[in-house]
Structure 1
Amino acid sequence: MTKHLEKLIKQLEVEAIDSYLFIGDSPRFPPRIFGGQVLAQALNAASRTVSEDRIAHSMHAYFLRPGDPSKRIVYEVDPIRDGNSFTTRRVVAKQEGKAIFNTSISFQGLEEGLEHQATAPTVPQPEDLETDAEYWERKARENPEAVHPAMLSHPIERRTIDPRDEDNPQPKEAVQHFWFRVPGNIGDDPVRHQTLLAYISDFGLLDASLLPHPYTPSSQELQVASLDHAIWFHQAVRVDEYLLYTMDSPSASGGRGMNRGSFYNREGVLIASTAQESLIRVRKPS
């Protein structure tokens, strides 16, 4: 396990200070906390308050305020239901006594039932694509000041299919894909694998609603933020094996964009699904 991956896992697996109270740290990347981090930390906190025979199957969250990466986050878990088949937890993330995020998470034991799934898209395999780190290394050689050092040393290996030109974004179909994996031995704990998938689920999801427009999340004309986020876990998750994250945006209106995502393994099995509404406000010239 690399030091960057070890540090990420340590941050996402929050510190328990009481039975239903946890503390989480953030990387010091201003100006605000990455939404996927709060999703992952909240899921990790809630998962550690349920019995080991139950695993998360759905998570529905709202981002309420921008988080400050220089301050620790308090996660308060409310054990609102322990039923015969399902367990429910509500989590509120706070900084300085104010809620910045809340979520409801449902857990279930393993059951058998009817099965069907959507067909995985046909895309190039990960070995045929360069990593995002290699892409940003090329960009850094062209313009070192334009690339944040974090882009060159991220612990998650990503390989984007048909990456967009960040300097000259042209409108295109609102569909994008990338392969990813956690390149290291992270063990078999299902909570750890779900925690990391929740973290990754916020990568690029907002971007899908910008694809039909000449903007990226870094465009100065835009104010962008995640408003809500949902995850459904359909199958057992292993993030140390390549997974395909495919995203699309069926609609944008009213200063908001709707985004959907699906995670498939290399055998085409649908592992998890996501949905998110985001703020994509075009600022008026001053």
Structure 2
Amino acid sequence: MIKTDVIIIGGGATGCGIARDLARERFLRSCEEIGIPTEIMSSTKALELVPNLNPDTEEAIKVPDCSIDPFRLCMLNMRTSEIKGGLSFIRHKVTEIVKSHGRCIGVKATDAASGEVKEIHANIIVNASGAWTNLVAGLAGCEVPLTLSKGSLVITNHRLTDMVINRLRPSSDGDIIVPNEAVCLAGTTSLMVEDPDKISIGPDEVDIIIGEAGRMIPHFNQTRIIRAFSGVRPLLKSQKLDSREISRGFQIIDHQNGMYSIVGGKLTTFRLMAEKMVD
């Protein structure tokens, strides 16, 4: 069954025009409901802002947006934790959950460089291991059902735009270009996977991303791609066949044994997720 807001019967000029206006109005209404300001722009004005934009663009909508370096974000958050007394261990893999009388009281973690095993005890264990959440929970005899969705991106050798460019359509492959320092990132894809440790980027994914990005900025088709990478989204378990339709909401699970797991969400909600988990 298909569920939608409006059914239009008729594929002539009027029916198609209604479909076009509804698509735009739905986006504008959604922005208004959550307080995001919008500005409808002519193609001429859009091209003044983004000279590399496809000249066939009919209309654009400007909204406030930004980009962020996720690696630097993680390092700065961890550095703040360390300054305030926290400890962090990089390149360590948790291989065992230490239990006492049925309660999780610590972990054993192996240093990937030296092979040294550290045993660390705590009052509470928070499992925030993303795509590996179910694997870590399994060490404690628990289960966290997930749907794993791989997303891939490509990186250009220089900037093609100073603004984030996003196609106004239902979420699909290669519908966003994001400037970041001296380069641009374009993506993404959405493919379900079983094992987060066994992923790769196929040439077909790269071709799709480049082709779709080229529809927004034609120069993208002639730009040198210097890198491609992928990550795995730890989505809440769902029977939906298209992972894009799965909610990006998050869930905190109390395993009733001293361990909590937090799953779902996305980068834009990480602060809320952290706040709710700590509370």
What is the TM-score normalised by the length of structure 1? Answer: 0.25
Structure with the larger RCO, 1 or 2 (CA within 8 Å, 6+ apart) = 1
Structure having the higher Rg:
2
Instruction: Give the number of the structure whose residues are more often helix, by fraction.
Output: 2
